[in-house]
Amino acid sequence: MSIVPNSPALAELHYGAPCWVDIATSDLQATVDFYAGLFGWYFSDVQGRTVALVDGLPVAELVAADQPSAWTLYLNTPHARATADKAHALGGTVLGEPSDLVTLLADPTGAVVGFRHVPADWVFGTVGHGAYAWAELNTRDGHGADEFFGELCGYEITQIGDGKAVDYTIWALHGHTVLGRQRMGRAFAPGTPPHWMVYFTAAPEIGTDSAASRVLELGGRVTVEPYDTPFGRITVVADHTGAVFSVIDPSRTTPLSDDDTGSRVDDPYDD
């Protein structure tokens, strides 16, 4: 289950709002080639950083790293070190030494997320094919995640499922929806770790199905075939290195039937 915010909140950069995504990869050039082929991303060297552009706006960063490839979501913070201290006091785990600008942490349920201090003129493109669309936390302790992030970031939390068969909350800032949280149920394979799922937009003229086919052509995998939701047509894929993400065409919305409501929770790690 997914929901995409229909508001300008992502650009307002409140504390706790998504402000950036990056992917760590052991083969930078191959990863550049994959995402250029999938989304048409252009790349620019920004002070030694490999930054992806959509319509001239930065949308993501590719980071050379000797570790398993994965996408990381970053949330805005006025001071990363202070956020790390607060997260630790609330039961989170700070990963590595935080700086004043950036920190990585694992919430008490085990999912990793970053916090980043960005300047007032920071630009994070969220419009166009291949731009950031949405992110949701998938965890088996939904209540614990809500409590932790509600206290850490001051989110306004609303349950949109029934809280039992479908436990999905949306997190808002100043009345604008910015993130989602889903409790993983039986449809997720045993041992699936808590994780953040990052969504990228498929332009209507390209569509989710074409994006999924292109992933296969480029050496990636489709882990969840395209399916319809009230929020858009979605597919879950993995790139050539195994980094998992979702693609959504928000122009293709399909109301769920009574039979479908609460029945589908997809496992992005299930082959």
Residue 2 lies in a domain: no
Beta-strand runs (E) in 156-243: 156-159, 168-173, 176-183, 195-201, 221-229, 232-238
The 70-76 sheet, strands edge to edge: 42-46, 49-54, 57-64, 18-25, 70-76, 112-116, 102-106, 93-95
Residue 58 lies in a domain: yes
Whole-angstrom distance, CA of residue 253 vs CA of residue 40: 24
The answer, yes or no, to whether residue 7 has pLDDT greater than 60, is: no
pLDDT at residue 257, rounded to an integer:
54
By percentage, how much of the chain surpasses pLDDT 90? 79
Provide the token pair at 263: 């029945």
- Classify each residue of 55-68 as buried b or exposed e, where b means 16 or more C-beta atoms within 10 Å of its C-beta: eeebbbbbbeeeee
The answer, yes or no, to whether residue 261 has pLDDT greater than 50, is: no
Structural domain tally of the chain? 1
Range of the domain at 209: 9-249
Top mean pLDDT of 159-168, 209-218, 259-268 is at: 209-218
Residue 229 lies in a domain: yes
pLDDT at residue 165, rounded to an integer:
85
By percentage, how much of the chain surpasses pLDDT 70? 90
Residue 268 lies in a domain: no
CATH at 75: 3.10.180.10
pTM for the whole thing? 0.90
Per-residue pLDDT tens for 161-204? 888 888 999 999 999 999 999 999 887 888 889 999 999 999 99
Residue 90 lies in a domain: yes
Q: CA quadruple 200, 206, 208, 211: dihedral positive or negative?
A: negative
Per-residue pLDDT tens for 115-151? 999 998 999 999 999 999 999 999 999 999 999 999 9
Per-residue pLDDT tens for 14-40? 999 999 999 999 999 999 999 999 999
Whole-angstrom distance, CA of residue 122 vs CA of residue 133: 17
Residue 255 lies in a domain: no
Residue 254 lies in a domain: no
End-to-end CA distance of the chain: 18
Residue 266 lies in a domain: no
